[in-house]
Amino acid sequence: EADWKANRRISHLWRVHAASGETVQLTRGDGESTPRWSPDGASIAFITKRSEDAADQIYLLPTAGGEAQRLTDHETSVRDISWSPDGATLYFLADDPKSDEEKRRDELEDDVFAFDENWKYRHLWAFSRADRTESQLTTGDFTIRSYRLSRDGTKFVFHRTPTPLLDDSLRGEVWIMNVDGTAARQVTRNEVPEQGAELSPDNSRVLFLSDSNERLEFYYNRNLFVVPAAGGASRMLLSEMPYEVQDASWSDDGRTIYFTANTGVRVELFSVDLQTEELQQLTHGDHTISSWSYHPALARQVFRIDEPTNAGDVWISGADGKNAMRVSRVYDYLAELELPRQEAVRWTGADGTEVEGLLYYPLEYEEGKRYPLIVQTHGGPRSSDRFEFGSWSRYVQVQTAMGYAVLKPNYRGSTGYGDDFLRDMVGHYFSQAHLDVMAGVDHLIARGIADGDRMVKMGWSGGGHMTNKIITHTDRFKAASSGAGAVNWISMYAQSDTRVQRTPWFGGTPWQEDAPIQVYWAHSPLKDIYKVSTPTIILVGANDERVPPPQSVELYRALRANGVPAHLYLAPREPHGWQELRHELFKINVELDWFEKHARGRSYEWVVAPEGTEEPEPRRATESEAQP
């Protein structure tokens, strides 16, 4: 729920009876997460931080009713909890604590730190319910990024990296050890990012996912691999499948793997036979399957279905995906609202390749009438836009209610369309991607849907990169909003907290011998910023490490110096994805005000955040917000 007084969202735990749909709210605190049923179903473990806690702790709630009791008193925040099969032990990850000397220096504000070295290792712990004691299962100069307990409760499989730094994921490998922390051994030695490792039911094999091809070369659609638990060569499954695997799990007998995959504008549930590699699609629809898990003891799939008219209620099906039953009705209220029609659209890119995207029709759409168009480009760019209700940051329901059509193109570089489509960016970031976007715009104009004289462009992160490129490529848009976008790939490479994705784009680093500096500069929007005439607003979080504020400052100062109407809005405390409710509302208001003014020549009434239970009152933009 949105707590406007606290200026944040607060999540609570709920329980639904699968057969009857009876729903009960279990917690009402300051925010709870990560619920985990005990093996006997008598209690639920979850993570929260209450007023007396110094960090996030594990709490235990009886399912029969009563007050939740704190189990752990760990010095640092716990995360990623799981139960042993007998219910006697809870496992969790936690960062190493600060030393006494570090704490003393913090108190004295003698707190100069070494950049990119001010992190702590993360290790695996066990909590015994019998004597309420904690024990550390892993130690050393490495970080456990994630882990899974084997189904018989005797072993762990985990992803281990030298540091918790994002780029060190390339140096991570899959490891196995006994449940008491002994006999740890390395399983993979491939130096590509891996995730989602899980032991087979007999503990003889490990499945994992990697953004690699069958030769274990980096920057491909995420694929499914199996490797012997004793070590050795890994095997990639479904080498001809064009989709991107998102999550995977073994069947109860270990002969099949279930997985979800991004197929472009949809996410579906699949199964693959280990011996024959026969692929079966288990779900079908204009939707996104998310929050999926498989429960072998019950032969049940549990997942959320996010679709244009439902933001993701919970469903249960058989192992084969049949007899799916909706068990929660959180989003029934959306049936009372007028929502836009979503449609998958396809067009031909500049080089003849088919491109796909999503079109959102304005409410009360009339055939033959042209509408102002908002073009939104997704981030990543290793991602895709899919059939779903959507998020606050893109608010298509508001835009279509105001009479806009919205296009979300899955341009070159998007996932779910095969490796050639994804890897079009390798060696040249802006090769076909921006041309794909503009071809989609022209397709909607040719269909008589979009008004080419009333178009605006917006995007965040990778979508912001695209916005920055588009405004240097064309003056056809009346206004633009660039959210946390890069404008100078040379400076961006060093400023960001991650570089591994970007090195393939440009064929090397900017600081190696014979560096491909000309490639970096050729694909930097800043190179062509002198061409821009589009009025542009820029938004970024002050604590954004992924696309740091200096990128937005470079863009802003270049536009203003060249006489282009522009504003830069910096949100205090915010990381790459904004989280505070008032900041989120500001983004929506300022974008709509900018678009209405420049594309439609009319004013926009700002919505003010509610205070207590009072209804929000409209307001106009301030002079600095409204004037170029």
Confidence of residue 623 (pLDDT cuts 50, 70, 90): very low
- Write down the pLDDT at residue 169: 86
Other CB atoms closer than 10 Å to residue 41's CB: what's the count?
A: 9
Over residues 585-606, the mean pLDDT reads 98
What is the H or E stretch that residue 440 is in? helix 433-446
More confident residue, 615 or 247: 247
Identify the CA nearest to 532 among candidates 440, 469, 441, 442.
Answer: 469
pLDDT at 628 over 60: no
Which residue do the tokens 């005439």 mark?
533
Separation between Cα atoms, residue 223 and residue 549, nearest integer Å:
34
Separation between Cα atoms, residue 264 and residue 243, nearest integer Å:
8
For residues 604 and 594, is the Cβ–Cβ distance under 8 A?
Answer: no
In sequence order, the β-bridge partners of residue 127 are 90, 134
Separation between Cα atoms, residue 525 and residue 55, nearest integer Å:
43
Q: How does pLDDT run across 456-501, given as a tens digit for each residue?
A: 999 999 999 999 999 999 999 999 999 999 999 999 999 999 999 8
Would you state the structure tokens that stand for residue 370, as one six-digit string?
């042209």
Would you state the structure tokens that stand for residue 246, as one six-digit string?
């998102």
**Strands, sheet with 354-360, edge to edge from the N-terminal-most edge strand:** 342-348, 354-360, 405-410, 371-377, 450-460, 479-483, 536-541, 566-571
For residues 115 and 108, is the Cβ–Cβ distance under 8 A?
Answer: no
What is the H or E stretch that residue 437 is in? helix 433-446
Q: How does pLDDT run across 499-553, given as a tens digit for each residue?
A: 998 999 999 999 999 999 999 999 999 999 999 999 999 999 999 999 999 999 9
Q: Where are the beta strands (DSSP E) in 431-559?
A: 450-460, 479-483, 536-541
Separation between Cα atoms, residue 149 and residue 155, nearest integer Å:
6
Q: Is the peptide bond before 62 cis (omega within 30 degrees of 0)?
A: no
Confidence of residue 307 (pLDDT cuts 50, 70, 90): very high
Over residues 89-115, the mean pLDDT reads 96
Cβ partners under 8 Å of residue 536, min gap 6: 467, 471, 479, 480, 481, 482, 555, 559, 564, 565, 566
β-strands 310-318, 325-326 pairing = antiparallel
Q: How does pLDDT run across 408-440, given as a tens digit for each residue?
A: 999 999 999 999 999 999 999 999 999 999 999
Please give, one letter per residue, the 3-state secondary structure of 194-212: EEEEEECCCCCEEEEEEEE
Helices 433-446, 462-473: axis angle to 10 degrees equals 70
Our measurement of the distance from residue 504's CA atom to the centroid of its chain's CA atoms, rounded to an integer in Å, reads: 21
Q: Where are the beta strands (DSSP E) in 53-204?
A: 57-62, 69-70, 78-83, 89-95, 122-128, 133-136, 143-149, 155-161, 173-178, 185-186, 194-199
Confidence of residue 611 (pLDDT cuts 50, 70, 90): confident
Identify the CA nearest to 475 among candidates 598, 592, 352, 560.
Answer: 598
Separation between Cα atoms, residue 156 and residue 176, nearest integer Å:
6
Residue 235, exposed/middle/buried by CB under 10 A (0-12, 13-18, 19+)? middle
Q: Around 434, how many Cα atoms within 13 Å sit in the side-chain half-sphere?
A: 21
For residues 435 and 495, is the Cβ–Cβ distance under 8 A?
Answer: no
For residues 459 and 377, is the Cβ–Cβ distance under 8 A?
Answer: yes
β-strands 279-281, 267-273 pairing = antiparallel
Phi, psi of 74 (to 5 degrees): -80, 150
- Write down the pLDDT at residue 616: 45
Q: Where are the alpha helices (DSSP H) in 81-151?
A: 100-108
Cβ partners under 8 Å of residue 315, min gap 6: 302, 303, 304, 305, 324, 325, 326, 327
Separation between Cα atoms, residue 539 and residue 555, nearest integer Å:
11
pLDDT at 624 over 60: no
Give how far Cα 190 sits from Cα of 127, 435, 525, 596, Å.
33, 36, 35, 52
Q: Which amino acid is at 53?
A: D
DSSP 7: T
Q: Do you know the residue count of the chain?
A: 628
- Write down the pLDDT at residue 612: 57
What is the H or E stretch that residue 291 is in? strand 288-295
Q: How does pLDDT run across 341-384, given as a tens digit for each residue?
A: 999 999 999 999 999 999 999 999 999 999 999 999 999 999 99
More confident residue, 489 or 615: 489
DSSP 491: H
Separation between Cα atoms, residue 256 and residue 106, nearest integer Å:
52
For residues 420 and 413, is the Cβ–Cβ distance under 8 A?
Answer: no
Separation between Cα atoms, residue 184 and residue 369, nearest integer Å:
66
Would you state the structure tokens that stand for residue 392, as one six-digit string?
């606050």
- Write down the pLDDT at residue 193: 92
pLDDT at 617 over 60: no
Other CB atoms closer than 10 Å to residue 161's CB: what's the count?
A: 22
For residues 561 and 513, is the Cβ–Cβ distance under 8 A?
Answer: no
- Write down the pLDDT at residue 371: 98
Our measurement of the distance from residue 524's CA atom to the centroid of its chain's CA atoms, rounded to an integer in Å, reads: 25
Q: How does pLDDT run across 174-196, given as a tens digit for each residue?
A: 999 999 999 999 999 998 999 99
Q: How does pLDDT run across 36-49, given as a tens digit for each residue?
A: 999 999 999 999 99
Which residue do the tokens 């959306």 mark?
334
Separation between Cα atoms, residue 25 and residue 18, nearest integer Å:
15
* C-alpha torsion angle, residues 356, 468, 370, 349 (rounded to 10): -30
Q: How does pLDDT run across 23-37, given as a tens digit for each residue?
A: 999 999 999 999 999
Give how far Cα 23 sits from Cα of 28, 290, 328, Å.
15, 21, 8
